[in-house]
Amino acid sequence: MKGSPPICLEKEIRMAYLKPQRPEKVTAPSLRASKERGERLVCLTAYDYTMARIVDEAGIDIILVGDSVGNTILGYGNTVPVTLDEIVMHTRAVRRGVQRALLVADMPYGSFHTGADDAVRNALRLIKDGAAEAVKMEGGRKRADLVKRLVDEEIPVMGHIGLTPQSVNMLGGYRVQGKTAETARALIDDAKALEDAGAFAVVLEVVPREIAKLITESVKIPTIGIGAGAHCDIQVLVIHDLLGLSFGKLARFVRQYADLKTTMTEAISRYAEDVRTGAYPSEAESYGLPAQAAAELEIPTPKTDAEVEKQ
């Protein structure tokens, strides 16, 4: 398996009644030690079993079931309509494909806005029903008390500041955040407040690289950058953007590593062409009737599968 070397902090005690974790398993507390050692970890989104398994086996350290599922899989156009049930369902699918990476599930818009008890209940669904190991929540200082409450209930929390897509109706669009001295200072305060509240990491989305560097140097928890420059401890991308499966113009921070949309369109078109011309399926791609049944049914003796395969 690819990926970073074992990240466990200390020798683990074997508890006979508990399933032991693999030594190389990435955990929420292990991220801080990785930052101290200067390791550059990698995070990607995934939303289903197949993608999650490929991402995990490729050695990615953190897998996020982001509410970007609203754009990539559900076709909503933004993340606002995404529901808790949807995130739970996708997290369950992803869980089945992940063994090594830390699995984080997003708290969707509306799941933490109606009081701390509701937020705890909803986060617990992601942990118990979805089998996520941590939750991510958008918002800075104004969510600090909520982060502390979740952490007090043993739920690891990843913060998320800068461009917070759930606030699109308040922000009026998707723009770089923290471009003035005042808003940049506010971002630094947000990151510190989340750290003080017990968040184990913080996503910095679309902020100037200088501010991301300042934040990364001012907190002990790792920063996870998306459109925030090279100084963040960890980088994250939406997997559909990286693989070339997105529609429309890509943001400037996206590096596209494959063009799967074109590959898929070509494969699907070739299949359709083969069906239309009768080139698919061939005899070798179908099943012959055994001779005995053919004789009883008075069907001319068919070729055996072995004969077909030889052709």
Size of interface with ligand KIV, in residues (CB under 6 A): 10
SS3 of the chain: helix, strand, coil, percent, to 5: 40, 15, 45
Give 236's DSSP letter: E
CB of 169 to ligand KIV, least distance (A): 17
Is 210 one of the annotated active-site residues of the chain? no
Part of the chain binding ligand KIV (CB under 6 A), chosen from 14-22, 65-73, 118-126, 127-135: 65-73
Q: Is 66 in the site for ligand KIV (CB under 6 A)?
A: yes
Among 28, 127, 226, 243, contact with ligand KIV (rule: CB under 6 A): 226
Q: What gap in Å lies between CA 137 and CA 245, rounded to an integer? A: 26
Q: Which is nearer to ligand KIV, 64 or 84 (CB)?
A: 64
Give 41's DSSP letter: E
Site for ligand KIV in 86-115 (CB under 6 A): 106
Cβ–Cβ under 8 Å, residues 156 and 135: yes
Cβ–Cβ under 8 Å, residues 158 and 136: yes
Q: Is 45 in the site for ligand KIV (CB under 6 A)?
A: yes
CB of 305 to ligand KIV, least distance (A): 47
Site for ligand KIV in 151-210 (CB under 6 A): 203
Rounded to 5 degrees, what are φ and ψ at 217? -80, -20
Beta strand segments in the chain, E:
41-45, 62-65, 102-106, 134-138, 157-162, 201-205, 223-226, 234-237
User: Among 86, 138, 195, 205, which one carries the catalytic annotation?
Assistant: 205
- So which residues are the catalytic ones? 205
Which stretches of the chain bind ligand KIV, using CB under 6 A?
Answer: 45, 64, 66-68, 106, 203, 226, 236, 238
